[in-house]
Amino acid sequence: MTIAFIDLAAQQARLRPTLDQAIAQVLDQGQYIMGPQVRELEEQLAAFCGAKHCLSCANGTDALQLALMALGIKAGDAVFVPSFTFAATAEVVPFLNATPVFVDCLPDTFNMDPESLKRAIAHAKSIGLKPACIIPVDLFGLPADYDVLIAIARENGMKVIGDSAQGFGGVYKGRVTGTIGDITTTSFFPAKPLGCYGDGGALFTEDDELAALIDSFRVHGKGSHKYYNERIGMNSRLDTLQAAILMEKLAVYADEIEKRQAVASRYTAGLSNRFETPYIPDGLKSIWAQYTLKTASTAERDAFQQRAKEAGVPTVVYYPVPLHRQNAYKDFPSDPAGLSVSDDLASRVISLPMHPYLEQATQETIIAAVAG
């Protein structure tokens, strides 16, 4: 038996007949760019989370860039990002000549630490940067602590972009990600909880003006006519085929989130006496993009990975090097008190196979193998 880290084939087996129909329909219509399925998907995504506007785009990284462009982020601006995240969160900031400033995360939720954010803001000001925006990440599927982070952002006149590439559909105190902050972004990379069969992304906002700007920026800065250019934009559209595929996947997404929760609960029941299992604060719901444990040390993690490997259980370390230690990012500013939690997590976290179709028997094998 081979155990998949993320089993896209099991999902495909469930959806194959409707996916085939949806794909055939796009081929029959022949509108490969901005076909009617794109708008239809955007409406369904907006309805799913309760957002006023959804605008699809080419991928989750572009979604972040489009969000910063719509907010007018520019040279001299500080954009506060976590260090313990995927590189895309920070990568888009220097593209707009703004400066990413790295913030530590909390040891329990792995999400942006408000106290570290405050220190990073003071530091950014002291070196002549203008605090402009924060990008909390819903890491591994768990929403960041938005009430606290947004309050700090507003006190400092800053905008808020939620990077929900891993968290779309997560719940924060009764609200679904996509409706929190000024703009939320997500990714439909195949391995994300809601993934397509290629690259894809989307932005969500309640703000009509921001939505109009994003719509313009994603198609070469178009004006009222596609050959009137009002601003410098980019080419970042979601393919009609991917939109058609995503609608079929969205139809089962709520069910899949429940199944992920059941998988996570079984892991926690089987492993919490042995490792530090994920902590979910009251009022929050993770969509379990990853199930990530803390081992006691790097040595224990190495042994854990070895045991898993011998039993045929795939594991992955997300993320082995926090961004403030990466060659590409180490010269940007960060919380002057240091990012000790990000460093510590990078040294000892490990993620287990996680997808909605993980069978209970397979999970028992995984639990027995990694518990050692």
Ligand X SMILES: *Cc1c(COP(=O)(O)O)cnc(C)c1O
**Interface contacts to ligand X, rule CB under 6 A:** 59-61, 85-86, 88-89, 137, 163, 165-166, 187, 189, 199, 201
The whole-angstrom separation of Cα 90 and Cα 101 is: 9
Rounded to a whole number of angstroms, the minimum distance from the CB of residue 54 to ligand X is 16
Comparing CA positions, the residue from 170, 362, 344, 141 lying closest to residue 270 is 362
Q: Which residue is nearest to ligand X (CB)?
A: 60
Q: Is 192 a catalytic residue?
A: yes
Rounded to a whole number of angstroms, the minimum distance from the CB of residue 189 to ligand X is 4
CB nearer ligand X, residue 117 or residue 135: 135
CB nearer ligand X, residue 49 or residue 165: 165
CB nearer ligand X, residue 10 or residue 87: 87
Rounded to a whole number of angstroms, the minimum distance from the CB of residue 64 to ligand X is 6
CB neighbour list of residue 30: distance below 8 Å, 6 or more residues apart: none
Question: If you count DSSP H runs as helices and E runs as strands, how many of each does the chain have, helices first?
Answer: 12, 12
Strands (E) in the chain, as ranges, are 53-57, 77-82, 99-103, 130-134, 159-163, 171-172, 175-176, 183-187, 201-205, 284-285, 291-294, 349-352
Rounded to a whole number of angstroms, the minimum distance from the CB of residue 124 to ligand X is 22
The whole-angstrom separation of Cα 86 and Cα 64 is: 12
Rounded to a whole number of angstroms, the minimum distance from the CB of residue 236 to ligand X is 10
CB nearer ligand X, residue 60 or residue 322: 60
Rounded to a whole number of angstroms, the minimum distance from the CB of residue 89 to ligand X is 5
* Burial bucket for residue 23 (CB in 10 Å: 0-12, 13-18, 19+): middle
CB nearer ligand X, residue 189 or residue 217: 189
Cα-based distances in Å from 165 to 10, 190, 202, 367: 22, 11, 9, 28
CB neighbour list of residue 16: distance below 8 Å, 6 or more residues apart: none
- Could you say which of 159, 192, 249, 294 is catalytic? 192
CB nearer ligand X, residue 271 or residue 339: 339
Q: Quick one: which H or E segment has residue 63?
A: helix 60-70
Number of residues that make up the chain: 372
Active-site residue numbers?
192
